[in-house]
């Protein structure tokens, strides 16, 4: 078990630094303080209000870990293609995700943005989305492969999300 005495030390230091830098969001302070070589943009860009909302649901999430599989939230149930390095995205991983979706109650139009949205990616944040070009390109390529393999069928009309036109796919039954 971790030492509980570390908590006030960390919170006091965080408070001191934040008061000296009030324009920072909490996520920014944590990412900068962690000196990560590859900062987690999800943490860095999270708004304080969203963080407070997420923290307020912390106990609910812990309870859900003990729930039946069909009651597990999307962010735990489906592969998180919005966080994986684009190099780690493979046809096998995406096919597994599509199969999981097929056997779930989720009925979505399969697009790169919708797949990332499953796990709570901040897809409505234009800055975040612009930084996802390599991921989007890789996901689009893999979705075309899944269509060629007969797992997906292409929809006739394109999906429009925040001005981004995407080819949408349905899962073959």
**Tally of helices (H runs) and strands (E runs) in the chain:** 10, 2
Q: What is the mean pLDDT of residues 114-120?
A: 82
pLDDT in tens, 41-55: 666 666 677 666 666
What are the boundaries of each domain within the chain?
6-56, 69-171
pLDDT in tens, 64-108: 555 555 566 665 666 777 777 888 889 998 998 888 888 887 788
Please state, in angstroms and rounded to a whole number, the distance separating the CA atoms of residues 115 and 39: 22
- Residue 144 pLDDT > 90: yes
In which band, very low, low, confident or very high, does the pLDDT at 63 lie, cut at 50, 70 and 90? low
Residues 6+ apart with CB under 8 A from 76: 64, 65
Whole-model pTM?
0.56
């Amino acid at each position: 078990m971790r030492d509980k005495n570390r908590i006030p030390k960390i919170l006091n230091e965080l408070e001191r630094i934040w008061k000296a830098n009030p324009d920072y969001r909490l996520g920014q302070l944590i990412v900068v303080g962690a000196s990560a070589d590859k900062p987690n943009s999800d943490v860095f860009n999270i708004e304080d209000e969203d963080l407070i909302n997420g923290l307020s649901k912390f106990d609910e999430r812990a309870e859900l870990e003990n729930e039946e599989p069909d009651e597990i939230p999307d962010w735990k149930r489906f592969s998180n293609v919005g966080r994986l390095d684009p190099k780690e995205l493979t046809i096998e991983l995406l096919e597994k995700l599509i199969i999981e979706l097929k056997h779930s109650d989720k009925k979505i139009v399969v697009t790169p943005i919708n797949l990332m949205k499953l796990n709570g990616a901040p897809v409505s944040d234009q800055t975040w989305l612009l930084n996802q070009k390599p991921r989007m390109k890789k996901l689009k390529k893999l979705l075309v492969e899944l269509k060629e393999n007969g797992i997906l069928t292409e929809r006739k009309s394109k999906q429009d999300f925040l001005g981004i036109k995407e080819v949408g796919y349905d899962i073959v039954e």
